[in-house]
């Protein structure tokens, strides 16, 4: 019963979206209400902790919710001024067929954009719609392209931040790891060891979403090789440590774009009519170019540290109990998306009527993704802090924390049921964590200590890095079915519940099978290494 009630909010979300075709916004509200009630009346959590956890989750989500919000504004601005149309025309001159566009933009540019911190579920759906993709296909590719290198998103924050928390805050120190940098590199390499088959399968899943079996039959070779280029380049860099962890995703995504372009040019001998990259095209592309430029500059370590400290201590806020949050406004990607949006207005020169339409559309559509991301983060923190209480102004584990914490119940139940076969279910715990939390980063942070304790109780400390890596990969895979991302993609092109439900129903089984494959790979790696 404890296990069933611990995962009940997740089940409600899945049932609501898959079978009832309710939107991510609706199920996020219902999931939050159910999680709150269960935490208080079954898992012995004071209301003050539940409400505080919700507030922390909403504030933690701001890095994503604001990035999504301003990305949507920028895309609407580009579409209204005709800039997006020119971008589409230019892309059609590079990539002719829908399948080529899927691999070029999805596997290549999608991975590169994700690594730079761009929000592909907010940015890409209008692009694919203008390319002639159906609503479902536009949602599918925009979300699936986030997955192959999710761990390297936003300059690899899903790797570096959880590693820092695990090593410095939770004092997790597996044998042979004496420094944070060594922890990060081993974590990174072991994550990349899972990526080759996963990246290939995601390439096939994108093609299937666009053209079914026919698309896979005709384009399996470039899909296979693009998946290998993407994953093996990341694996080799992580193995040899020849580039910083923060830029691995950028480099791998760029190589994949180059490969796809060369491959299709080599088999497509006829002359292609490419639009010259003149002043008008440059102006249309300028918002994307500015985003890339600012992301690269601002995320250079010294510059990022400078901006992170620039507004201290004024951007550090007390939330509740002893919980504080440093908003890091100027070091956050959402701030620079806002800056690019503002700069793009005089560059794209919208008329007063166009700018009115942009704001009207933005106000109508931005609320759904904002609410969904915020409340799913809130649910994640409610589950993580269930069974805790406030003592002398500090949030501490309650007397029966291990018996009543929802995350511990989920992980320990899996450990008891599967025993030595626990590695097979590790990626599923990462999947659940990211499904509720809305991101791999949240899943990795919230479950790091739980996975450490479970690893010690089942297979031993030396294997923790493999366990943690598989958990992270499972969290990355979850991006394909994360309700908040699906709601975001749907809202950008003006569709909702039905399309969201159709998509999540279509990809749920493939995603579960890819997660199972990750568990099998983990089991093999533990046996071999």
* Surface-to-core class of residue 314, CB atoms within 10 Å of its CB (0-12 exposed, 13-18 middle, 19+ buried): exposed
pLDDT for position 437: 66
d(CA 340, CA 91): 22
The distance between the two most distant Cα atoms of the chain, rounded to a whole number of Å, is: 75
Residue 508 CB neighbours (<10 A): 15
pLDDT for position 32: 93
- CA 118 vs CA 66, 360, 389: distances in Å: 12, 23, 37
Classified as helix, coil or strand, 25 is helix
- CA 25 vs CA 195, 492, 524: distances in Å: 31, 14, 39
pLDDT for position 37: 95
Q: What is the mean pLDDT of residues 96-111?
A: 89
Beta-strand ranges (E) seen in 105-151 are none
What's the whole-model pTM score? Answer: 0.81
List the beta bridge partners of residue 316.
326
Give me the count of residues in the chain. 529
Residue whose C-alpha is closest to residue 263's, from 223, 208, 235: 223
235, 238, 243, 247: CA torsion to nearest 10: 70
List pLDDT tens digits, range 61-96.
Answer: 887 788 888 888 998 899 899 998 888 888 888 888
pLDDT(46) > 90: yes
pLDDT(117) > 80: no
Q: What is the mean pLDDT of residues 338-344?
A: 94
Lowest mean pLDDT, pick from 1-5, 224-228, 491-495, 519-523: 491-495
The rounded mean pLDDT for the chain is 87
List pLDDT tens digits, range 282-329.
Answer: 999 899 889 878 877 887 778 888 988 888 888 888 888 888 888 888
Question: What end-to-end distance do the CA atoms of the chain give, in Å?
Answer: 37
Residue 136 CB neighbours (<10 A): 18
Task: Please enumerate in sequence order all residues whose Cβ is within 8 A of that of 354, keeping only pairs 6 or more positions apart, or say none.
Answer: 80, 81
List the beta bridge partners of residue 396.
389
* Surface-to-core class of residue 498, CB atoms within 10 Å of its CB (0-12 exposed, 13-18 middle, 19+ buried): middle
pLDDT for position 438: 67
pLDDT for position 350: 94
List pLDDT tens digits, range 153-197.
Answer: 877 778 887 888 788 767 788 888 888 889 999 999 999 999 999
pLDDT for position 514: 95
> What is the CB-side half-sphere exposure of residue 40 using CA atoms within 13 A?
14
Q: What is the mean pLDDT of residues 235-241?
A: 93
List pLDDT tens digits, range 454-492.
Answer: 888 778 888 899 999 999 999 999 888 888 788 888 888
Question: What is the DSSP annotation of 143-210?
Answer: HHTTSTTGGGHHHHHHHHHHHHIIIIIS----TT--SHHHHHHHHHHHHHTTHHHHHHHHHHHHHHHH
* Residue 481 phi, psi dihedral angles, 5° rounding: -125, 10
d(CA 318, CA 294): 30
Highest mean pLDDT of the ranges 7-21, 67-81, 107-121: 67-81
* Residue 521 phi, psi dihedral angles, 5° rounding: -60, -40
Lowest mean pLDDT, pick from 356-360, 391-395, 429-433: 429-433
Whose tokens are 């384009």? That residue is: 219
pLDDT for position 75: 86
521: tokens are 């790979």
* Residue 373 phi, psi dihedral angles, 5° rounding: -60, -45
Residue whose C-alpha is closest to residue 185's, from 205, 155, 159: 159
d(CA 283, CA 192): 37
Cβ atoms 125, 179 nearer than 8 A = no
Residue whose C-alpha is closest to residue 130's, from 158, 91, 156: 91
Classified as helix, coil or strand, 496 is coil
337: tokens are 């998306």
d(CA 256, CA 447): 32
pLDDT(151) > 70: yes
Whose tokens are 């935490």? That residue is: 39
pLDDT(271) > 60: no
């Amino acid at each position: 019963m404890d296990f069933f009630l611990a995962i009940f909010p997740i089940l409600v979300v899945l049932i609501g979206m898959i079978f009832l075709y309710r939107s991510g916004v609706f199920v996020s509200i219902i999931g939050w209400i159910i999680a709150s009630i269960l935490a208080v009346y079954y898992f012995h959590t004071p209301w003050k902790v539940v409400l505080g956890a919700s507030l922390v989750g909403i504030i933690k989500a701001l890095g994503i919710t604001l990035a999504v919000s301003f990305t949507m504004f920028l895309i609407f601005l580009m579409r209204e001024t005709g800039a997006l149309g020119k971008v589409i025309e230019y892309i059609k001159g590079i990539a002719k067929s829908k399948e080529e566009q899927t691999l070029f933009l999805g596997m290549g540019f999608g991975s590169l954009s994700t690594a730079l911190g761009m929000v592909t579920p907010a940015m890409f759906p209008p692009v694919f719609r203008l390319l002639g993709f159906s609503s479902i296909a536009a949602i599918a590719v925009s979300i699936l392209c986030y997955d192959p290198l999710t761990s390297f998103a936003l300059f690899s924050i899903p790797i570096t931040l959880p590693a820092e928390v695990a090593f410095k805050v939770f004092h997790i120190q597996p044998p042979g790891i004496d420094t944070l940098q060594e922890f990060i590199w081993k974590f990174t390499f072991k994550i990349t060891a899972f990526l080759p088959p996963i990246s290939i399968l995601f390439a096939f899943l994108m093609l299937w979403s666009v053209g079914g079996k026919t698309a896979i039959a005709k384009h399996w070779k470039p899909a296979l090789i693009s998946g290998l280029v993407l994953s093996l380049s990341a694996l080799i860099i992580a193995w040899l440590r020849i580039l910083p962890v923060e830029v691995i995703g950028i480099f791998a995504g760029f190589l994949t774009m180059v490969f796809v372009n060369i491959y299709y040019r080599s088999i497509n001998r006829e002359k292609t009519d490419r639009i010259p990259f003149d002043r008008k095209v440059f102006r249309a592309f300028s918002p994307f170019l500015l985003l890339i430029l600012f992301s690269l500059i601002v995320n250079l370590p010294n510059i990022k540290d400078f901006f992170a400290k620039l507004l201290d201590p004024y951007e550090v806020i007390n939330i509740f109990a002893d919980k504080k949050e440093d908003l890091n406004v100027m070091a956050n990607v959402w701030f620079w998306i806002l800056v690019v949006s503002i700069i793009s207005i005089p560059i794209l020169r919208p008329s007063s009527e166009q700018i009115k339409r942009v704001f009207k559309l933005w106000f109508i559509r931005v609320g759904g993704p904002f609410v969904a991301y915020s409340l799913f983060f809130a649910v994640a923190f409610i589950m993580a802090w269930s069974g805790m209480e406030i003592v002398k102004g500090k949030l501490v584990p309650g007397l029966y924390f291990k018996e009543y914490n929802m995350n511990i119940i989920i992980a320990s139940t899996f450990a008891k049921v599967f025993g030595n076969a626990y590695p097979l279910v590790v990626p599923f715990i990462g999947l659940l964590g990211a499904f509720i939390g809305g991101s791999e980063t949240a899943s990795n942070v919230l479950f790091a200590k739980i996975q450490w304790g479970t690893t010690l109780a089942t297979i031993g400390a030396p294997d923790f890095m493999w366990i943690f890596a598989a958990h992270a990969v499972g969290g990355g895979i979850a991006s394909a079915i994360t309700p908040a991302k699906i709601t975001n993609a749907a809202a950008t092109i003006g569709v909702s519940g039905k399309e969201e439900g159709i998509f999540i129903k279509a990809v749920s089984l493939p995603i579960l099978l890819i997660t199972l494959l990750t568990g099998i790979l983990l089991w093999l790696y533990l046996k071999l290494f």
